[in-house]
Amino acid sequence: MNLINLDDITRKYMLNEISLDVKERRLYISKRLTEQGRSDYEQLLREAVEKHDADWLALRLKEGERMAAFEPSHSRTGRPIVKNTPISDDVTLADGEFNYYYVRGLCVRAIDQGVDYLVVYRAKEVAQERPQSVTLIGTKVNPKELLDDLRVDISLRGKRFGIPGGPNSGISVRLP
């Protein structure tokens, strides 16, 4: 991902947002992480934010049996089955959560620096663009309102503005 404002300042804000979620017990832990993955996830996420990037995090999630190979599901008739998890789960999780904390960190940075708005852009090329993502590119968003939207319960975060746009959207924000 090309996160334009990913620097030491933004990383500090990102780490603070992770700490806030840990303190308030709302750090997202994917059901597709194994027991080892759940145990390691917070530290790996922090290290990725502090020193690396989403690609590094994805590699660490892939190794060490941190991502489940199978998950429970249901057949079309409703019968319980076990199915393979998507092979790119590690990348989807790493990109999504890294970008999520990048957006939150950048919002807090913008607020602290008196920046009135952030600009939506495509941070990662995708095979098929979602129409709602395309319409967001170039729009300006209030960092305080976006931050409030992202700090809510996991099932609601990002719903109001559609940023960061869900799994594999490639949508992020930058300073003007």
Grouping H, G, I as helix, E, B as strand and the rest as coil, residue 120 is: strand
CA–chain centroid gap for 162, Å, is 13
Determine the average pLDDT of the residues in 21-46: 96
Asked whether residue 41 carries a pLDDT value surpassing 80, the answer given is yes
| 48 and 71 Cβ atoms separated by less than 8 Å | no
Beta bridge partners of 120: 173
pTM to 2 decimals?
0.91
Output the pLDDT for position 150.
Answer: 92
Asked whether residue 40 carries a pLDDT value surpassing 90, the answer given is yes
pLDDT tens per residue across span 108-132: 999 999 999 999 999 988 777 777 7
- Size (the chain), residues: 176
Characterize 123-161 residue by residue with b for buried, 16 or more Cβ atoms within 10 angstroms of its Cβ, and e for exposed.
beeeeeebeebeebeeeebbbeebbebbbeeeeebbeeb
Of 28-32, 71-75, 138-142, 151-155, the range with the lowest mean pLDDT is 151-155
| 105 and 4 Cβ atoms separated by less than 8 Å | no
HEC per residue, 15-53: HHHHHHHHHCCCCCCCCCECHHHHHHHHHHHHHHHHHCC
